[in-house]
């Protein structure tokens, strides 16, 4: 007995609808992924020292998100601020100002973590993890990009060191303890 062709036509329409629905969802998903990547690209462009488009793209490929960048850029500042065993008000302000430039706004989870680091010195594992990460990151960057990253991070760290230094604005603004930390931080860029 022959089947009614209308039944087949109904199933055909259902099959086409499912196919295009699935294809449409995949396209929407790809569009969302592209939009999220573009949002992260714009945010990195805004807060990172490296502005070249190909480098920003490579940073994204390496998994560097705006939140990762905030951690990369703030760990050296916190370490320098704690160099002499305490953080004074000027150093705290310098670290918080640098954090805000890097997109770490008051009330955000990143700001809460930073506030904790400024209240209680983080353990040595944080600096160790930062150093290992930076060595790997620097190995993936071109020499000019590595130099720009070093100059930016070390420049900000030096600003924190100089924030409370000197007597009445005179003399060496970087304490011997802070200089030791700056020298240690700089070593990750030498490899």
Does the residue 52 lie in any domain? Answer: no
Which pLDDT value is given to residue 47? 76
| pTM (two decimals) | 0.71
If one counts the domains in the chain, the total is 2
For 18-41, the pLDDT digits (tens) are: 777 777 777 778 888 888 889 888
Separate counts of helices (H) and strands (E) for the chain: 8, 0
118 CB contacts (<8 Å, ≥6 apart)?
78, 81, 87, 92, 95, 96
What is the SS3 assignment for 28? Answer: helix
Q: Is residue 31 part of a domain?
A: yes
| Residue 83 in this model has a pLDDT that exceeds 90 | yes
- More confident of the two residues 60 and 19: 60
Please state the φ and ψ torsions of residue 23, each to the nearest 5 degrees: -65, -40
Same domain, 17 and 37: yes
- Domain identity same for 33 and 111: no
For residue 172, the enclosing domain spans: 59-189
Contacts by residues 59-64 (CB-CB < 8 Å, ≥ 24 positions apart): 62/137, 62/140, 64/137
Same domain, 137 and 179: yes
Alpha helices in 86-172 (DSSP H): 89-101, 109-119, 124-140, 143-163
- Residues of the chain with pLDDT > 70, as a percent, come to 88
Say if residues 37 and 66 touch (Cβ distance below 8 Å). no
Task: Report the chain's mean pLDDT, rounded to a whole number.
Answer: 83
- Position 168 confidence tier, pLDDT thresholds 50, 70, 90: very low
Distance linking the first and last C-alpha atoms of the chain: 80
Decide which of 30 and 81 is more confident: 81
pLDDT at position 13 is: 72
CB neighbours of residue 121 within 10 Å? 15
Q: Looking at the domain assignment, is residue 53 inside a domain?
A: no
Strand partners, 167: 170
Mean pLDDT (whole number) for 127-156: 89
- The predicted pLDDT at position 182 comes to 95
Same domain, 67 and 98: yes
């Amino acid at each position: 007995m022959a089947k009614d062709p209308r039944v087949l036509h109904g199933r055909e329409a259902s099959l086409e609808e499912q196919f295009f629905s699935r294809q449409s969802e995949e396209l929407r998903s790809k569009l969302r992924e592209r939009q999220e990547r573009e949002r992260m690209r714009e945010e990195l462009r805004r807060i990172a020292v490296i502005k070249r488009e190909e480098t920003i793209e490579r940073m994204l490929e390496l998994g560097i998100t705006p939140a990762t960048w905030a951690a990369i850029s703030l760990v050296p500042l916190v370490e320098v601020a704690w160099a002499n065993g305490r953080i004074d008000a000027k150093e705290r302000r310098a670290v918080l100002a640098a954090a805000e430039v890097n997109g770490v706004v008051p009330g955000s989870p990143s700001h809460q973590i930073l506030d904790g680091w400024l209240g209680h010195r983080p353990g040595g594992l944080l600096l160790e993890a930062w150093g290992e990460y930076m060595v790997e990151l620097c190995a993936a960057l071109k020499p000019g990009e590595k130099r720009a990253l070093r100059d930016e991070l070390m420049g900000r760290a030096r600003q924190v060191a100089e924030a409370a230094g000197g007597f009445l604005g005179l003399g060496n603004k970087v304490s011997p303890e802070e200089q030791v930390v700056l020298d240690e931080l700089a070593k990750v860029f030498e490899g």
